[in-house]
Amino acid sequence: MTCVYVGLQGASLYLWDNEQSVTVTVSHAENPLIQSRLTDLETNLYENLRKNQKLVSAYMSFGGEQPYHSFTLPLMFRKNVFGAVIGIQEGEQSPVTEDLFLETLSGMLSLHYTAANIENIEEAHKESIEKERLVAVLETAVTVNHEVNNPLQAIIGNIQLLLMKQEDLDDNTIEKLKAIEESALKINSVTQKLMRLTSPKTVQYSDGTKMIDLGDDTDTES
């Protein structure tokens, strides 16, 4: 469709990898002679010039019974050349449409090339966000351990010392001390779970607020 649009008798498109090995070839020609010329131009001329002379683009005119003109232009995404296109136009008049051909075709190919990489880009972005999220959680866990666990250990230690002298305490006081000890130990367990997180997940808390999921044994409603 692009050839017809700009009045070319034939064109070939080549895509290659980072080592410039061709991975995709697409050609269109009005007849076998044009196809043969396209193949010959690429194999015996343009390909060698690209590899040996660092050819980027070229325009050539050929005489004979049936004069024709040919061009090769790079396909680029930013500064990365990922392929080339060659075209043939028969007749005496020099073509002025190769740039239009490239603009039309390269625009579509660049769009496709970019779209094919969007999934990888999005995945890498997602992984980056997850890593940043994990780092933030771990930094919070270290802070909690330092700022909370130190006084918490003092609380637990003193409660356990008091419970060792239960004979001097009434039942109501013992029950309250045990409840405090249980809550303190739960806080200690939560801080340890934070330190062991490798893939933070969130759960719904209330009013659209989310909280880190530390496991089924954590009281998520308190």
Residues spanned by the domain of 141? 128-212
pTM over 0.75: no
pLDDT tens digit sequence for 118-173:
666 667 667 777 777 777 777 777 777 777 877 888 888 888 888 888 888 888 98
pLDDT tens digit sequence for 41-64:
999 999 999 888 989 888 888 888
Q: Is residue 158 part of a domain?
A: yes
Q: Is residue 107 part of a domain?
A: no
Domain count, the chain: 2
CA distance 17 to 100: 25
Residues 215, 197 contacting (CB under 8 angstroms): no
pLDDT tens digit sequence for 161-219:
888 888 888 889 889 888 998 988 888 888 777 767 666 677 776 666 767 777 654 44
